[in-house]
Copies of this chain bind each other. A is one copy, B any other.
Amino acid sequence: MNSAAPRSGEGTIAKALEVLDLVAQLERPVRFSELLALSPHPKATLYRLVQTLTSLGMLRYDAERQTYAPGLRLVRLAHAAWRQSSLAPIARPFVDALSAQVGETVHLAQMDGGQVLYVDKRNAAEPLEMFSQAGKVGPGYCTGVGKAMLAFMAEDALDTALSQQAWFAHTDHTHTSRESLCAELAEIRSEGVAYDREEHEPGIICVAAPILSDAGRSIGALSVTTSTARKSLADLSQLAPHLQSTARDIAGAAANWQFPSQ
């Protein structure tokens, strides 16, 4: 995943962030040597980067186990980011209302680096614990929210986003090529809603509606997720109008504020 992204050969800061990303990606405390193996930097350089990040609180070093993990300082910074750059605070009342009405899991997501970043979530009454919480990321090409957002992105942004997809076949229904996905994106554009037909996880389906800027670009997406055991795609399509109107409400509220359109 890192070798596939020949990031801009920028400066020290970029390198530092790559390291942070790496540590975050691994999702567990890592030893120095593991990082070394995964990073393109020579030992001494990596060592210094890690030291610096640790002393700045961006990484946390567990002396006993000799491992590094992302540091709490990030949580602090993220709080500010979440409040200012995510739709969550603005969308909150609308998401609450929708969630209460449909009684299924509701997700609010935005695009970040070609991936779907969940910025808020309301669990159904009975929380079937899938992966996902605020801050969690998911793939763009095989989730409802992902496809809804991709469908309404500007030409160039879409292009770079598509180039960042993994095209991994999570299930039999997963799109595994740009072409096959693009065909569906056209449909989504005309319909105004996207469906996840068990493309990411077997047994899990969802309807998603994009949240659009005045210019018609996606600034986020909203979805209702359920399992095939409980509802069918047809059931979900009943919810589409409701979902869309909520999405419009959120867009309206966001317009008076600030919006990072894609």
A residues at B contact (CB < 8 Å): 8, 10-14, 16-17, 20-21, 23-25, 27-29, 49, 52-53, 55-58, 60, 62, 65, 67, 69-86, 88-89, 110, 112-113, 117, 119-121, 123, 127, 129-137, 258, 260
Contact = CB atoms under 8 A, between A and B. Distances in A.
Contacts of A17: 56, 58
A131 B76 contact: no
Q: Copies of this chain, how many? A: 2
A135 to B, nearest CB: 3
Given A24-B80, A129-B134, A258 B75 contact: no
Nearest to A57: B113
Given A14-B56, A52-B14, A72-B110, A78 B131 contact: yes
Contact of A258 (B13, B27, B29, B76): B29
A77 B8 CA distance: 19
Interface of A is mostly: mixed
Contacts of A86: 72, 75
B29 A84 contact: yes
Contacts of A129: 88, 120-121, 134
Nearest to A123: B127
Nearest to A69: B84
Nearest to A137: B76
A72 B81 contact: yes
A82 B76 CA distance: 10
